[in-house]
Amino acid sequence: MATTVRQTPWFDARHARGGGGSAPVILDAGGSVRVAAIDVGRPLRVGTRFKYGGTMWEITRAQDHSRGWVARPVRVGARCASR
């Protein structure tokens, strides 16, 4: 049986209004994956960069109805995906 995780109402409501707030983000470093609550002070979108745990991360996949936000480490000298 597959397990699915439902989105929490507070997360949906804050982002629907355009506010910031903490959001769960999957931090995919290639060899390891973890989830962290990220608050960048504005709604997340693909290309948003933030620093967490001493590493610069960039959102590379948007949240949809079944999956959460995904971020990967920014390579030195790499340009933002949204530009």
Residue 16 is predicted with a pLDDT of: 40
CA dist 79 → 15, 34, 58, 72 (Å): 26, 24, 10, 13
Give the whole-angstrom CA distance, residue 29 versus residue 83: 22
The per-residue pLDDT for range 6-65, each reduced to its tens digit, is 444 434 434 444 456 789 999 999 999 999 999 989 999 999 999 999 999 999 999 988
Q: What is the pTM of this model?
A: 0.67
74/82: higher pLDDT: 74
Residue 22: the pLDDT is 87
Residue 5 pLDDT more than 80? Answer: no
